[in-house]
Amino acid sequence: TSGAALAAGPVAGGALVGLAGWRAIFLINVPLAAAVLALAAGRAVRCPRGSRGLDPAAQLLACAALGLLTDALIALGSGGGVHAAASAAGALAAGAAFAVRERGSAAPVLVPAVVRAPGMPAALAAGAAVNFVMTGVLFVLPLVFQRTLSLTPFQTGLAFLPMTLPFAFNPLLTGRIVARTGPRRPVLAGLGLLTAGGVLFGAVLLGGASYPPLVAGLLCTGFGVSFALPALATMVVAAAPEGTAGAAGGLLNAVRQLGATLGVAIMGAFAPVGSGGGAGDPAYALFTAAAVCAVVCAAVLALTPRARSRRTP
């Protein structure tokens, strides 16, 4: 379901931008949010309460640390050295306060049993890497399509279809593969495809951007994401100790969003489309994405235990 929405989003967003300007894309959230609230308000959705408490102070400190870190990266990318240093110092202070708070908290944000579970760190790193690449590509390539290839917003949305269409159907195949072989192989395949996609994107852009050669990178990225993410959900929940599946799933979503934020902040530093290489060339952003995925793929390969095939009787 989310994959189908990802496939439709760039096309619908491009159409809205073309018809009513970029501010129109935010209006689509209003009817969707209203519909979800209406559906969840009745008795059909039952969510039993758990016994575990929350620590609002720790949550706020985590948000402050991540927000300041993101601000520091954005400022660094735009050349604001003093701004970046101040935000980085604030992020370190908030992070230190968060660590102190976590040690004495009766309801820590990061459940120690979950974080220390075998294979969990590698799986979380993989989740962050997948969103780092996906969101970074969705940020960088539209600038290439519009500034270099002179595509309209609607054409830009259509240009992403080789990447986004696999989101809609490939998770069904991934689910069958996970049920047969376990999640490790699809995760590794997805990270490998994302690495290949980043290399292809960078090589094409360095050689002079044109759309047909970019299709291969878009396909690698689309299939890479749709192989990795469904398998990662299974890997994280399976690795979580008994009774902590909800905390593990929430942690995976949190690190994925962190990866997405860092992907835009870091790859956005390369966003100005320059004529020759260097920091202004988006090719180097996409090479960075490939390097991140390659490192995480090696970590998953080394740190994640092999899972035996299990069949449900």
Which 3-state string (H, E, C) describes 94-112? HHHHHHHHHHHCCCCCCCH
Q: What is the pLDDT of residues 84-100, one digit of tens each?
A: 999 999 999 999 999 99
Q: What's the pLDDT at 278?
A: 43
Q: What's the pLDDT at 188?
A: 92
Q: Residue 310: pLDDT band by 50, 70, 90 thresholds?
A: very low
- What's 145's DSSP letter? I
Q: What is the pLDDT of residues 175-226, one digit of tens each?
A: 999 999 889 899 999 999 999 999 999 888 888 778 999 999 999 999 999 9
Q: Residue 271: pLDDT band by 50, 70, 90 thresholds?
A: low
- Per-residue burial over 112-128, b if 16 or more Cβ lie within 10 Å, else e, is eebeebebbbbbbbbbb
Looking at the predicted structure, is the pLDDT value of residue 111 above 60?
Answer: yes
Q: What's the pLDDT at 257?
A: 92
Q: Residue 245: pLDDT band by 50, 70, 90 thresholds?
A: confident
Looking at the predicted structure, is the pLDDT value of residue 308 above 70?
Answer: no
Q: What is the pLDDT of residues 24-73, one digit of tens each?
A: 888 888 998 999 898 888 777 777 776 777 889 999 999 999 999 989 98
CA angle 184, 186, 187 (to 5 degrees): 65
Q: What's the pLDDT at 274?
A: 47
- The predicted model scores a pTM of 0.84
**pLDDT over 90, % of the chain:** 38
| Residues 6+ away with beta carbon under 8 Å from 190 | 130, 223, 224, 225, 226, 227, 228, 229, 231
Please compute the mean of the pLDDT values over residues 233-255 and round it to a whole number: 89
- Of 176, 188, 195, 159, whose CA–CA distance to 289 is shortest? 195
- Measured between alpha carbons, how far is 280 from 268 in angstroms, rounded to an integer? 10
Q: What's the pLDDT at 193?
A: 93
